[in-house]
Amino acid sequence: MMPVHDLAQLTWEEVRDLDRRRTLVILPVGAMEAHGPHLPLGTDIIIANAMAESAARKLSKRGHPIVVLPQVIYAPATFAAEFPGTVSVSAASLTALVLDLARSLSRQGFRLLAIANAHLDPEHLTALYETVKLARQSGMLPIVFPDLTRKPWGSRLGDEFRSGACHAGQFETSIVLGVWREFVRDKIRRSLPPNPVSLSDAIKAGKRTFGEAGGPRAYFGNPGAASAKEGKRLIDTLGTILDEAVTAEIDR
């Protein structure tokens, strides 16, 4: 098992002494946006960090030294822009930021950048795809970005996730319960009726906000069915997804 380092806790000399040609870098990416009346605005960040930590453990067991970067906490979040507290940036801003990070890591000789992404806004996903494309065109280090909304990844994340009714519902609420139970407003959570509206179907139909899509309180799915046990299982699955995506890139 190889070491897992938090970049923010290392000194520059410790980074200098890493075998950077073998070291994989993981970047958690989330957003600051409304997640129902029961979850914090930083829910995506909590999930991205849990995914990154899980993947780091798995990849280190495969013999890869790992560095985990501090998370990106601002992203395009236009679907939730109508809700107070949501802080959205442009797609171009996100692409420029992650591309600059990749450029810096490339210059320092790191092997690969893996994105642990927990934010599924269409504009955000498009920005990440653009980042991967531009990095490849510029000859930077490989960027691995498993899109949870696409096969085969999303099919592993439970019935609610597959239905598309999964923003601040059972899926995300379970993960927050599994990591930071105290951040969940549990009395409110238990009082919420299920909202089975598929956000993914609404997006395909041209809806542009949570309100238009049928989520007036910024949640879709069934928060009341969430459990910490399911959350821990989902975190392990998310870590496996990133582990497998990275391993596939390395083995190409």
CATH topology (fold) of 4-250: Rossmann fold (3.40.50)
**Number of Cβ within a 10 Å radius of residue 16:** 10
pLDDT for 138-166, tens place per residue? Answer: 999 999 999 999 989 999 999 999 999 99
Tokens of 159: 């019935």
pTM for this prediction:
0.97
**Are residues 50 and 175 in contact, defined by beta-carbon separation less than 8 angstroms?**
yes
pLDDT tens column, 8-49: 999 999 999 999 999 999 999 999 999 999 999 999 999 999
Q: Torsions phi, psi of 141, nearest 5?
A: -60, 155
What does the pLDDT look like over 182-205, one tens digit per residue?
A: 999 999 999 999 999 999 999 999
Domain ranges of the chain: 4-250
Q: pLDDT digit string (tens) for 75-126?
A: 999 999 999 999 999 999 999 999 999 999 999 999 999 999 999 999 999 9
The conformation of residue 154, written as its DSSP 8-state character, comes to G
* Whether the Cβ atoms of residue 10 and residue 52 lie closer than 8 Å to each other: no
Residues contacting 129, CB < 8 A, separation 6+: 145, 147
User: Strand order of the sheet with strand 66-68?
Assistant: 4-6, 66-68, 24-29, 112-117, 143-144
What pLDDT band is residue 252 in, cutting at 50, 70 and 90?
confident
Q: How far is CA 246 from CA 26, 119, 140, 144, 210, in A?
A: 10, 19, 16, 6, 32
In this prediction, residue 1 has a pLDDT band, given cuts at 50, 70 and 90, of: confident
- Identify whether the C-beta of residue 219 lies closer than 8 Å to the C-beta of residue 191: no
